[in-house]
A and B are shown apart, each in its own frame.
Chain A
Amino acid sequence: MEITRRSFLKRTALSGVAAAAVLTKTNQVMAQSAADSEWATVINVDKCDGCTHLDTPLCTLACRSKNEHNFPVPEKPIVDYWPQKKHEDWSEQKNLTNRLTPYNWTYVQNLVVEYNGQKKKVHLPRRCMHCENPPCSTLCPFGVNDKTPAGPVVIDSQGCFGGAKCRDVCPWHIPQRQAGVGLYRKVAPDYVGGGVMYKCDMCYDLLESGREPACVSACPRGAITFGPKEEMLRYARQWVQKNNGHIYGDTENGGTLTYYISTVSFDAINKAIMSQDMDQKPGKIHMSTDIKNPLDEPAGIAQGMVIAPLAGLMAAGLSAYQIMKGDDSDENNAS
């Protein structure tokens, strides 16, 4: 937590904007400085009813219509990822709304969860968590997946090669791949790359123009709250305390910018997800509460790396001393 807070302060200090921007309510226009401070969302699981009276939840619909112009338009026929005999093509299933796909960046998972001896209906809007130290972004081999100072993690679809490494290293395997589009087609489409990765970008363009994400405005029950990170975190924690509830996303993977709050425990929710709705294909997301950031351990090694130059200098000093002293028996030119 300490690091997260420090990084937040650093970023806000960098942008020169106070974090204490006014907490915005639905449809309220945000301050012009929106994209300069770090933003977060609170998803109140108790409030979300999954819009079960409708065909598609309104947050999902809003996300789709807002992002439609960014959806992939693959050129066919799409070649396989040689030597594998497959490629990932969702373009024939654009209408799927019950999972993540390149054409569906948020979905609501409907569950029946057993908790405290009772069966309870739970509805979970799922999408990118926008991590504080996102492995998808830091480990992108082409540096085209950015953690922006405002918080959103944004994939540059122009530069993405579609290797899907980001999906592999994401603890929730969020980014989804569409083959047949993007830069790889211009290089060696048979042998390297695989398309472009797509996921929620927290409606980064809306944030830049001072508006809130589409899913937030669209929710008829006000289940998604949007605002400055610190404020959202405080609100989520207070809610949890008051309602004897649970929070998810504040510490997972080293901290994210999405805080689920619920009176049903997330362990129980995850158990229900695993037993009811995981089909072993990407795009359905677990809610495991035991998620450590995969970059924590390399961070330890990195700190150890500082010793390397010093050790090199010391060893050189020793070698040079021996040579100059004439101890190095094989230093003599001839024998």
Chain B
Amino acid sequence: MKIMRHNLAIRFTHWVTALSILVLFFSGFGQMPIYKRYYVDQLPGLGWSSDFLITLHIHYWAAAMLIFVVFYYAAYLSITKKWDIIPKKGDLRESMQIFAAILGLAEEPDSDKYLAEQRLAFVVTALSILVLIVTGIIKVYKNLPGNYLPPEVVFWTAQIHNLFTVILLLTIIAHLGAFLIKANRPLVASMFTGWISADYVRQRHGKWWSKLNLDLTDEQIDIPLSASAEENREVI
């Protein structure tokens, strides 16, 4: 028995965002003079990495891709009104409880489609991306011939852009770090295929499970999702 967790629109959003951010990180760090100093441009195929103008072009293109997908996702959310990922009241406390549960100190609360900590992480990540886009647009404007911005604006735009790059990097490290926790691992496959086992949903996402309102027998639920789903069920 399997359940659709991430439809095509969400998977598209996730992976286009991931790809563009990955490229933005590499090309963005390339705006600082480090690839030459640290011999990154000596690695096979990366000779171009220390050329500031090449990495700048790449940064612009990847930024266009990110802006595209942000608008796509924002419009998608507003049209479909699927607000599952938006934080709710009490999410902070519930997140603490989930962390305590991971350490075996408490019982994990029944979750909705997303865990409280996922909803909070989403907001931090999304806000960082928005700040980076806004400051990035200011920087692009400044780079256009004939445009002038006061030194204070240029300085603070650069500092905020750099600071939120670090914040976004930390949220992404935390996002990937979440998969060190076994209970989260079935979610990895679901971001590729969209599907997750019904058993996982019933065990961990009780609120979502009841909303789905599926009239299923235990046998139906236990039908494996796929070969790998067997492992997933063991984890749960």
Q: A84-B37, A254-B145, A334-B2 are in contact. Are A312 and B71 (CB under 8 A)?
A: yes
Q: Which of B32, B67, B75, B144 contacts A165, CB < 8 Å? A: B32
Closest to B31 in A: A141
A280 CB within 8 Å of chain B: no
- Tell yes or no: B9 within 8 A of A by CB: yes
Which B residues lie at the A interface, using CB under 8 A? 1-4, 7-9, 12, 31-34, 37-39, 52-53, 56-57, 60-61, 63-65, 67-76, 79-80, 140, 142-148, 151, 154-159, 162, 194, 198, 212, 214, 216
Is the CB–CB distance between B67 and A83 below 8 Å? no
Residue among B34, B71, B142, B155 making CB contact with A308, cutoff 8 Å: B71
Contact A311 B60 (CB under 8 A): no
Interface size of A by CB at 8 A reads 64
**Would you call A147 and B1 a contact (CB within 8 A)?**
no
B155 partner residues in chain A, CB cutoff 8 A: 142-144, 159
State whether A308 touches B214 (Cβ < 8 A): no
Judge whether A313 and B60 touch: CB under 8 Å. Answer: no
Do A308 and B32 have beta carbons less than 8 Å apart?
A: no
A-B pairs with beta carbons under 8 Å apart, 10 shown: A81-B37, A141-B32, A141-B33, A298-B56, A299-B145, A312-B73, A313-B72, A315-B68, A334-B1, A335-B2
Q: Which of A34-70 contact B (CB under 8 A)?
A: none
B-contacting 9-mer, from A233-241, A256-264, A324-332: A324-332
Within the complex, the shortest CB–CB distance from A272 to chain B, in Å, comes to 29
Which one of A147, A305, A320, A334 contacts B75 once the chains associate, using CB atoms below 8 Å?
A: A320
Instruction: Tell me whether A316 is interfacial, beta carbon within 8 Å.
Output: yes
C-alpha gap A261/B148 in the complex (Å): 28
A334 and B214 contacting across the interface, CB-CB below 8 Å: yes
**Residue A278 at the B interface, CB < 8 A?**
no
CB neighbours (8 Å) of A14 from chain B are 148
Contact of B33 with A315 in the complex, beta carbons under 8 Å: no
B144 touches A299 (CB 8 A): yes
Q: Which residues of chain B are near A3, meaning CB under 8 Å?
A: 145-146
Contact partner of B33 (CB less than 8 A), chosen from A168, A309, A311, A334, is A168
Structural contact, A7 and B214, CB atoms closer than 8 A: no
Q: Are B154 and A309 in contact (CB under 8 A)?
A: no
Further contacts, 10 of them, CB under 8 A, given A165-B32, A169-B53: A7-B146, A83-B38, A142-B158, A144-B155, A298-B57, A301-B60, A302-B144, A312-B75, A316-B72, A316-B79
